[in-house]
Amino acid sequence: MSPTVEINGKIAKVILAGQFDFNSHREFRQACESVIGNANVSEVQIDFQKVTYLDSSALGMLLMLKEKVNAVNKSLALVNCKDSVRQVLEIACFGKIFSIR
Amino acid sequence: MKILIVDDAEIMLLLIQKFVSSLGHQAVTASNGQMAVEAYRAERPDLVLMDMMMPVMDGPEAAMRIKAIAGDRWVPIVFVTGIGEENRLAEAIEQGADDYLLKPINFRILEAKIKAIQRNSDLQQKVREQSAVLAEYYERAEEEKRVARHLMEQMVNADRLADPQLEYWIDPAESLSGDLIASARTPGQVLYVMLADGIGHGLTAALNVLPLTQPFYTMTEKGFTLPEILVEMNRKVRQVLPIGRFVSTAIVAIDSVGGTLEIWNGGMPEILLLNRAGDKVAGWKSTHLPIGILSPEKFTVTCEHYEFAPGDRLFLCSDGLLESHLADGEQFGIERALAALQSRADAPGRIEGLKHALTDFMQGASHHDDVSVVLVDCSATSDAASEFVPSERLGIDYDSHLHVCWRFQLVLGPDELRNCSVVPFVMEFVKQVEALRSCQSEVFLILSELFNNALDHGVLEIASALKDVRVGMDEYLRQRFERLENLAGGEVEIGLELVEAPTGRVLRIKVRDSGRGFDYTSRLVAADDDSQTHGRGIRLLRNLATSIQYLGNGNEVVLYYLPKSASTTA
């Protein structure tokens, strides 16, 4: 997985691809840190369009991301969640603490 | 570097020795192959420069012996050879020599070769050091894993999983499982079963689930409710694990006597209730966030309730089972799991059928996540049921002026009723009393029934008829929660006394509430009718107690219970 970052005005989109699991830890963190540090960005979107699979460590990474994003007063959304991804997020009831679109 | 120079011509030895020394290396010399082998043994040089043709033992022979002595240590050997020896040279290189140099020696090239070998040698040295570090690291990691596995096994406590109502299977993806199955019984013999799945697998996942074990076992044994245990587990996980770490958990309480289930699912696959034929009767999807994510104020512990039918079984599993997949991505899935269970619907060892089905499906490949499965018979097996043999009815009308051995009394106001776990608290005392040691579960049952009646119907004034219908149970619990939150007045008094009756020592339990009471004459008659759900509690009490008297307007009850051990001595 190598995430790509697209910045469009105030919205930064981190586009993930393939398996999102513990092995993606470093790349995911690096991609996210770059947008968190960007003062012009007010909303961070994680795009799951191309994600085939995510596991519980990915959920853990999302929780950590949420903490960091909240700390700098930006908002966070999980977007383009397909069925397989949506299912995992639903089982964990992440809809209660994340904005999922 | 220490360099061994081997040549039978004195002049060559001298020449090379001078040159090597001028480059800053240490030179050792030998004048034939035999001496070279001995010199190698004694000096362990880093490089050997050797002539091919020598008396006593030639170069290639000496090279082979030196390599044999060196073993794993890399010792580069460079032959210094004249024109016309090419065939012998090729052979020697095949047998392990590393390089060659043609005579007459070009010192510029010799210097370059020594430098190249030095670079190689340094690299080899580094690799050797690193692999030693790696080996040590590996051993340490294995040892840590061994300790962790032992710890896990102790914490998980397989003994307690040996419950006749329970079948289970854990298959870790690595040597340690990040899935945890735990079961324990409350003093009232309600079976609590927990399946937890930590993030990832292996050691870190195992560490994630460990904080759950202690609250689960100790609080279950003291008779705390599922919500109380969940709150404590959430607190504990948040306290000990870093942010981003959480534990998906499913926890169920199976009351085989009452015929009810209580269920909480936070992040686990759907929990299923299967009938005797193995068909799905009901299911509970995850409706809560996993444990460890939300702060105590936001953490939700609302459980779902259900009345099961005889023969029903609960099926819990981790996502590792359902998501086990082959290279083509097809997952094992719930349909395959249920079909496998159905194939041996009623026989013991149903989980064996599931294991085989998964093995066949995976075609020898290994699953990448921990797999765990629990199957619980909701109806009690004969063993568990026999614990509820009603104590002998004496039919004695007790005189209220019996001699009192000891008395334990407490009065609880709104704050205590809201915040204290009253029955477990009283049980802490009961456990200390020698005379009651062998009948804790009966005392717990009696206390729970009496206290809950006093609180729910007496102080909170909830209509017990609500419990009759299935939807009513949720409504009942909702009302209970709400009214308890807003409770401004009222009290419950609990008194325990051990009294000397003519037949032996008897436990007298008094519970009084500040409510309006109830028409107990009609209620006791109704309790004899089996179809009444809410009469069950009183019926149970009448089986356990030797005498029950309602006093006043029904807001006070005095119950006599003959402790088991006392009945044998009396």
Ordered DSSP codes for B261-283 = EEEEEESSPPEEEE-TTS-EEEE
Looking at CA atoms only, how far is residue B314 from chain A in angstroms?
Answer: 19
What is the band of B492 on the pLDDT scale with cuts at 50, 70, 90?
very high
Q: Which of B267, B269, B369 is the closest to A93 by Cβ?
A: B267
Q: Which residue has the higher pLDDT, B529 or B78?
A: B78
Of A55, A64, A92, the CB nearest to B289: A92
Cβ of B244 within 8 Å of Cβ of A60? The answer is: yes
Quick check: B335 and B286 in contact, CB under 8 A? Answer: no
Nearest to B288 among A63, A67, A93 (CB): A93
Q: What is the mean pLDDT of chain B?
A: 83
Provide the pLDDT confidence category of residue B522 given band limits of 50, 70 and 90.
low
Examine the pLDDT at A99 and tell me if it is beyond 90. Answer: yes
Peptide bond preceding B104: is omega within 30 degrees of 0, i.e. cis?
Answer: yes
- Residue B146 pLDDT > 60: yes
User: Are B79 and B100 contacting, i.e. CB atoms less than 8 angstroms apart?
Assistant: yes
Å from A84 to nearest chain B CA? 11
Tell me the count of A-B CB pairs closer than 8 A.
51
- In tens, the pLDDT along B406-415 reads 889 899 999 9
Asked if residues B33 and B62 have their Cβ atoms less than 8 Å apart, the reply is yes
Question: From the CA of B516, how many Å to the nearest CA of chain A?
Answer: 42
B197-232 pLDDT per residue, tens: 988 777 778 888 888 988 998 899 888 999 999 999
Percent of chain A with pLDDT over 70: 100
Please tell me the least confidently modeled range out of B67-71, B117-121, B144-148: B144-148
- Over range A10-14, report the average pLDDT: 94
CA distances from B393 to B396, B397, B510 (A): 8, 11, 19
Compute and round to an integer the Cα radius of gyration of chain B: 39
pLDDT digits (tens, 9 = 90+) for A30-47: 899 989 999 999 999 999
**Please, are residues B362 and B323 in contact by the beta-carbon 8 Å criterion?**
no
Per the CB < 8 Å rule, is B246 touching A63? Answer: yes
Strands (E), B129-190: 166-171, 179-185
The pLDDT score that the predictor gives to residue B468 is: 59
> ipTM of the predicted structure?
0.73
* Residue A43 C-beta-side C-alpha neighbours within 13 Å: 12
In sequence order, the β-bridge partners of residue B492 are B412, B513
